[in-house]
Amino acid sequence: MPRVAIQLPDELNQFVNKSVQAGDFHNADEFFISVVSMYKDQVEEGLSEAEQTKLESLRRDIQVGVDQLDRGEGSEMDWDAFFSERHRAYAERHRVS
């Protein structure tokens, strides 16, 4: 999992530490994961029903890919060749006459 470093004002740092010490969270990482997750849920609540459906579908598709990789079903991708082909196709479609 990627790490993110942040600097908090003393007052907020004390609040995080008190929340951890009170047993609300195991550590500061858990505190921030919880807060960001709640914010994410709040933002997603503002999505239309169609957007929610699309988001859920994308999440399922991503999980299928993750599960396949976990089972060793992935394959190497030649990104240079992929992008080279995409650039060539784009240039061909947008060639100036």
CA atoms 22, 25, 27, 31: torsion sign = negative
Q: Which residues contact 44 (CB under 8 A, 6 or more apart)?
A: 52, 55
**H or E element in which residue 29 lies:** helix 28-45
Is the pTM higher than 0.85? The answer reads no
Tens digits of per-residue pLDDT, 1-55?
Answer: 788 888 999 999 999 999 999 999 999 999 999 999 988 888 888 878 888 889 8
Distance CA 56, CA 60 (A): 6
Distance of CA 40 to the CA centre of its chain: 10
- Listed by start position, the domains of the chain span 7-46
